[in-house]
C-alpha cells in the first residue's frame, strides 16, 4: 500500500509541477497572438481543418455556449469563418481564415522551455528523468 501511496504522491507532485510551469507558456502564447489563451487554443485546434461548433467545444474543453462566445470573438476579429454544414443545415462549421492561420502559427512558434528550476539538475539527473519519462510514455 505504501508503494501505491508513493506513486500517487509522485504523480500529484509531477502534475502540479508541470501545470504550474504551463501558465507561463500559455501567457507567452497569448501575448504573441494578442489574444486570450482560450482563443489561441481554438485557433490551434482548427489548424488541422474545419470543425463543427460541437466538435470544437469538445477539443478545446469548453461547453457549447462558451465555444460560441469564443467563435463569435474570433469571427469578429476576422480569424475564423462560420458556415452552414453542406449536409446538415442545423450544424455550423468553423474554419480558419488566412489571418487565423497566421496567428495560429505565431502562437505555435512560442516554444516551451524547461523552467529555471531544471538548472539545479545534474546531467545524470536529466538522463534519469528522460529515461523514466520515456519509459512511462511507451506504456
- pTM value is 0.74
**In which domain, by residue range, is 95 found?**
2-111
The reply to whether 51 falls in a domain is yes
Is 47 domain-assigned?
yes
Contact, 81 vs 75, CB < 8 A? yes
**Per-residue pLDDT tens digits of the chain, which is 139 residues long:** 468 889 999 889 988 888 887 888 889 999 999 999 999 999 999 999 999 999 999 999 999 999 999 999 999 999 999 999 888 888 899 999 999 999 999 999 998 788 888 899 999 999 999 999 898 887 5
Q: What is the DSSP letter of 116?
A: G
CATH number at residue 8: 1.10.10.10
pLDDT for position 100: 97
Q: How many domains does the chain have?
A: 1
In a domain, 99, yes or no: yes
Residue 89 lies in a domain: yes
- How far is Cα 138 from Cα 87, in angstroms, rounded to an integer? 40
pLDDT computed for residue 2 by the predictor: 62
Indicate whether 131 belongs to any domain. no
pLDDT score recorded for residue 86? 85
pLDDT at 89: 85
Q: Is residue 136 part of a domain?
A: no
- State the Cα–Cα distance between residues 136 and 14, nearest whole angstrom: 13
Does residue 34 belong to any structural domain of this protein? Answer: yes
Residue 124: inside a domain, yes or no?
no
Amino acid at each position: 500500500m505504501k508503494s501505491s501511496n508513493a506513486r500517487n504522491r509522485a504523480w500529484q507532485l509531477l502534475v502540479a509541477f508541470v501545470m504550474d510551469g504551463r501558465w507561463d507558456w500559455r501567457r507567452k502564447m497569448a501575448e504573441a497572438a494578442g489574444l486570450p489563451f482560450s482563443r489561441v487554443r481554438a485557433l490551434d485546434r482548427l489548424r488541422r481543418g474545419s470543425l463543427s461548433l460541437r466538435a470544437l467545444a469538445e477539443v478545446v474543453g469548453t461547453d457549447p455556449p462558451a465555444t460560441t462566445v469564443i467563435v463569435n470573438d474570433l469571427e469578429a476579429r476576422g480569424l475564423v469563418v462560420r458556415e452552414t454544414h453542406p449536409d446538415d443545415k442545423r450544424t455550423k462549421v468553423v474554419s480558419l481564415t488566412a489571418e487565423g492561420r497566421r496567428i495560429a502559427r505565431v502562437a505555435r512558434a512560442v516554444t516551451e522551455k524547461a523552467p529555471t528550476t531544471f538548472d539545479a539538475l545534474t546531467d545524470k539527473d536529466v538522463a534519469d528523468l528522460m529515461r523514466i519519462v520515456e519509459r512511462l510514455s511507451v506504456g
